[in-house]
Amino acid sequence: MTNMKQFIIVVILVLYSGFLFAQSPSEIRSYIDQYKSLAIEQEDLYGIPASITLAQGILESRAGTSGLATKANNHFGIKAFGWSGSVYRAWDDEATKSKFRVYSSVKESYEDHSRLIKKLPRYQTLFNISVYDYRGWANGLQKAGYATDANYAKALIGYIDAYHLYTLNGGVKLKPNKKIVLAKNTKVEDFEKDQELVIDDSEITEEEEMVSHALMRFVVEINEVRCTLLYPGETLSSIAMRYNISKRKLLEYNETGSESDLQEGDVVYLERKKRKFHGPQDFYRVKADDSLYSIAQQFGIRTSSLARMNKIDLFTPLTEGEKLKLK
């Protein structure tokens, strides 16, 4: 973990009060208990693994807490293309607000999600993969273009591993990089005997660890500015949709012209940063690999204001140990 990210976590956990959980493990467990029967039903009807459906619901709807989920019963971020029903407008990756499908119930959202995956040609090869092979399905969904984030499949696998969602259809925890060739009616007892595929439930996978670390983070205020962190499997577009802020505004608030400049674990500001730091710290000692921009992001200060306070150019290289004014 970089010095910058270590500092951000210290700021979040120590300096500020009144923060909100972005998505707590208890919310996820509650979501699983509430909708696991729906996910199992979709597997029976359409052949889509219950673990995959539920993990997508957790990720896409923020365990049922996103605006799209609470206001439109839309748990999978499905847009209104070819839709004759009501629509909900929210920011996504377009220049104007996108239209999303509004459902009368969460069940209708789950059913529509299953029908789309079953019907669209780009997902057809997924149905050649065993329903027990959640790793194959997760990677297949990402490859087929369900989401653009490079960590989308890893995030799905992480939720499945962390919350034992593979048990929903009687499956087991799978080793990475192992391909399963099974018919749907294969008995679980026969499947579990193949130790080349199976790992112990208590063993922590890389994807599970990634998701677990992400869930320890918060939506907070830094320097009286609302912010969140970029979670595994998320993009700036998904943050824009959740908080109903245009991606253009998010790029502006975070003083960058490209979404790729923001990486997993980075702070994403939801409002314009301040001209100076309003916290207890007056100065900051520059660490190795710090830049004026990274320090500005740490403290919720505009980069130009930080440069002006310290009478330096925006592109002036910083020296380790150098003392910078924050106010």
CATH numbers and ranges of domains, the chain:
3-21+217-325 (3.10.350.10), 25-210 (1.10.530.10)
Average pLDDT over residues 248-277: 91
| Residue 3 binned pLDDT confidence (cut-offs 50, 70, 90) | very low
Helices (H), 64-174: 67-72, 106-119, 134-143, 152-162
pLDDT over threshold 90, residue 106: yes
| Residue 219 binned pLDDT confidence (cut-offs 50, 70, 90) | low
pLDDT value of position 182:
55
pLDDT over threshold 70, residue 185: no
The C-alpha atoms of residue 89 and residue 4 are separated, in whole angstroms, by 36
pLDDT value of position 6:
42
Structure-block tokens of residue 274: 């301040």
Nearest to 163 by CA among 314, 278, 23, 326: 23
| Residue 315 binned pLDDT confidence (cut-offs 50, 70, 90) | confident
| C-alpha dihedral sign at 239, 243, 244, 248 | negative
Residue 44 class from Cβ within 10 Å (0-12 exposed, 13-18 middle, 19+ buried)? exposed
The C-alpha atoms of residue 141 and residue 152 are separated, in whole angstroms, by 9
pTM: 0.71
pLDDT over threshold 80, residue 84: yes
pLDDT value of position 190:
52
What percent of the chain is modeled with pLDDT above 70? 87
Identify the residue with better confidence: 258 or 127.
127
